[in-house]
């Protein structure tokens, strides 16, 4: 039973000395005898008394010190080299220590949870006077795990970055007890192999698709069954599908561009004038000098565009034009690929007038061209913007003397290979109308993409159903599909076929290990620049 006093069964309280910021407890031992640390003989013959001062857990944030009155005894064993020995109280305080055992345990827990500096700050607020280095020494001292925690049957293996791109380590997790049991330096096969040879009790090893871990597990624990991580298998299948889509990106682009726009705008051709680019809604607030400067900029830029297009018609490539003109690759490539002069448009954000746009068009077409009147009507409907915003919105309609055109049709964006993977694999019920049109157009444009999608879906179904037979049948189907990406994927699977089959039938997965890696990263980032391997290992293995 825990009490305010340290080990009341061993010590008796004699006096309490209370000060403003300190409580001192004068205590003495209840024992009549003590055991010699050298010969283990018990003696009750007292030589003398002395006093030890040690720190204990605070009371309500007030520091507590123990003044322990302990004794020295004569050793009754005449052959013992230590004739006089001191009384020891290991349950209360260690030899030569200045803090009680329970205070050291509290500091260790703070160190495991928060680290050195953060732990010292927290300890100070709790009334525990200590320094960051003192906390870290306790973390180092408690770094070794008890032997029973190292008796593991199901082992999870994964890598983590000590310094990303340069130094890596390996984390080992007991999947049955759901806790990490060791960290190894490096992600090669040798450290894992050596560790497994010292633990022949391992029966199952879950790991990612890394060849180093496969070799290390095979050499270090030939008796263990290896299980490939299912998440990595699904990712590898998606990667194969993505490579297939990358080869057919031109087909995808053409299919999406042929989809009719949701809204068809009927805009008349712009009148040819000296302006290279049309006026914008902000044009009337610009000075004449600013308007002329804008047009000069576009005159010069359009001259560059025309020059690139002329060289393109002569049969030159982007690289050749870049070298000839001495311009940047991105500038030349943008002009080279544009079918018409690309106008730089400011990215339009959301406006408070967006939901009133339809009403403004209706009133404008009805003959109300007074922006003040329009502003007052919008205020009555809940508009909270300014008059200037309304004036800018209708300025171009007034300058053109025409009815406002309907909004320009929204162009359907062409998904890249990775976006296309998730678009095609997405549940059809969760697709938006636009996504459904894009998906249908892509699948109708390319039977090869449709075949690849069916293979990915069948693979995901085989893995999720925990059916080894379905996986084997899928591998045979994919190998005969005449799709190079999936044929290569099957060849890679067959190099590690036993672990892949086990992934399809076993209940064990490496997902829990990934979670422990995420926890490790959190601890590492909390430690800033002091996350060296030995200290990080101590915190990961002992943090609660």
List the structure tokens of 351. 């406006």
Q: In whole angstroms, what is the distance from residue 134 CA to residue 140 CA? A: 10
List the structure tokens of 407. 């909004």
Domain membership flag for residue 381 = yes
Straight-line distance from the first to the last Cα atom of the chain, in angstroms, rounded to the nearest whole number: 22
For residue 452, report the phi and psi dihedrals to the nearest 5 degrees. Answer: -65, -40
Residues paired with 227 in a beta bridge: 206
Domain closes at, from 88, 119, 141: 141
Domain membership flag for residue 133 = yes
Q: In whole angstroms, what is the distance from residue 191 CA to residue 533 CA? A: 15
Domain membership flag for residue 2 = no
Domain membership flag for residue 112 = yes
Domain closes at, from 343, 362, 391: 343
pTM comes to 0.59
Give the residue among 235, 241, 195, 243 at the shortest CA–CA distance from 219: 195
pLDDT at 204: 92
List the structure tokens of 289. 């000098």
pLDDT at 3: 73
Rounded to 10 deg, the angle between the 447-464 and 484-495 helix axes is 20
- Residues 300, 253: one domain? no
Q: In whole angstroms, what is the distance from residue 439 CA to residue 433 CA? A: 10
Residue 6 CA neighbour count, 13 Å, CB half: 29
For residue 484, report the phi and psi dihedrals to the nearest 5 degrees. Answer: -60, -40
Domain membership flag for residue 195 = yes
- Residues 323, 397: one domain? no
**Residue-range definition of the domain harbouring residue 59:** 11-98
How many structural domains comprise the chain?
6
Give the residue among 31, 30, 38 at the shortest CA–CA distance from 84: 38
- Residues 419, 482: one domain? yes
List the structure tokens of 406. 């309907």
- Residues 448, 477: one domain? yes
Evaluate whether 543 touches 516 at the Cβ level (below 8 Å).
no
- Residues 127, 180: one domain? no
Domain membership flag for residue 356 = yes
- Residues 156, 210: one domain? yes
- Residues 418, 501: one domain? yes
Domain membership flag for residue 269 = no
- Residues 249, 281: one domain? no
pLDDT at 145: 53
pLDDT along the chain (544 residues), means of 10: 74 88 88 86 87 88 88 87 86 86 86 82 85 82 60 90 85 90 89 90 89 89 90 92 91 87 44 52 57 79 90 90 88 88 64 79 83 86 84 71 53 84 89 87 91 93 88 91 91 89 88 89 78 80 71
Domain membership flag for residue 497 = yes
Evaluate whether 183 touches 189 at the Cβ level (below 8 Å).
no
Residues paired with 23 in a beta bridge: 18, 64
Coil, strand or helix at 355: helix
- Residues 335, 354: one domain? no
pLDDT at 278: 59
pLDDT at 261: 63
- Residues 302, 321: one domain? yes
Domain closes at, from 312, 343, 374: 343
SS3 per residue for 157-183:
EEEEEEECCCEEEEEEEECCCCEEEEE
């Amino acid at each position: 039973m825990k009490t305010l006093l340290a080990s009341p069964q061993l010590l008796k309280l004699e006096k309490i000395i209370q000060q403003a910021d300190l409580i001192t407890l004068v205590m003495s031992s209840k024992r009549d005898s003590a055991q010699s640390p050298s010969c283990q003989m018990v003696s009750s013959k007292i030589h003398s008394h002395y006093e030890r001062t040690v720190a204990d857990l605070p009371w309500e944030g007030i520091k507590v010190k123990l003044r322990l009155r302990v004794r020295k005894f004569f050793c009754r064993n005449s052959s013992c080299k230590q004739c006089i020995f001191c009384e020891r109280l290991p349950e209360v305080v260690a030899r030569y220590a200045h803090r009680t055992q329970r205070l050291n345990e509290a500091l260790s827990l703070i160190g495991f949870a928060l680290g050195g500096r953060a732990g010292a700050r927290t300890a100070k607020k709790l009334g525990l006077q200590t320094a960051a280095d003192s906390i870290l020494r306790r973390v180092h001292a408690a770094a070794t795990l008890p032997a029973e925690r190292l008796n593991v049957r199901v082992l999870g293996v994964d890598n983590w970055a000590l310094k990303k791109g340069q130094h890596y380590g390996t984390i080992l997790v007991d999947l049955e007890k759901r806790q990490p049991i060791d960290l190894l330096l490096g992600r090669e096969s040798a450290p894992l192999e050596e560790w497994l040879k010292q633990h022949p009790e391992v029966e199952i090893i879950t790991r990612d698709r890394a060849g180093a871990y496969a070799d290390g597990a095979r050499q270090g624990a030939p008796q263990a069954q290896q299980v490939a991580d299912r998440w990595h298998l699904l990712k590898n299948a998606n990667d194969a599908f993505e490579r297939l889509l990358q080869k057919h990106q031109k087909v995808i682009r053409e299919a999406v561009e042929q989809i009719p726009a949701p809204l068809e705008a009927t805009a008349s051709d712009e009148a040819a004038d000296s302006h290279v680019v049309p006026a914008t809604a902000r044009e009337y607030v610009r000075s004449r000098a600013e308007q002329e400067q804008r047009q000069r900029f576009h005159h010069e830029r359009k001259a560059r565009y025309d020059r690139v297009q002329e060289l393109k018609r002569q049969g030159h490539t982007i690289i050749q034009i870049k070298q000839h003109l001495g311009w940047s690759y991105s500038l030349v490539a943008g002009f080279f690929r544009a079918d018409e002069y690309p106008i730089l448009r400011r990215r339009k954000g959301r406006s408070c007038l967006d939901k009133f746009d339809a009403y403004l068009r209706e009133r404008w077409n009805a003959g109300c061209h007074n922006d003040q009147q329009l502003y007052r009507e919008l205020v009555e409907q809940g508009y909270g913007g300014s008059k200037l915003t309304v004036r800018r919105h209708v300025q171009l309609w007034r300058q053109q003397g025409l009815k406002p055109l309907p909004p320009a049709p929204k162009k359907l964006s062409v998904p890249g290979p990775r976006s296309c993977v998730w678009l095609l694999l997405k549940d059809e019920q969760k697709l938006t109308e636009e996504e459904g049109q894009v998906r249908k157009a892509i699948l109708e444009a390319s039977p090869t993409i449709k075949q690849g999608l069916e293979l990915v879906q069948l693979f995901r179904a085989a893995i999720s159903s925990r059916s080894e037979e379905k996986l084997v049948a899928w591998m045979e189907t994919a190998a005969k599909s005449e799709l190079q990406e999936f044929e290569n994927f099957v060849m890679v699977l067959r190099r590690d076929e036993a672990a892949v089959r086990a992934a399809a039938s076993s209940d064990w997965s490496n997902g829990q290990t990934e979670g422990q890696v995420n926890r490790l990263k959190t601890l590492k980032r909390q430690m800033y620049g002091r996350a060296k391997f030995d200290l990080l290992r101590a915190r990961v293995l002992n943090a609660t």
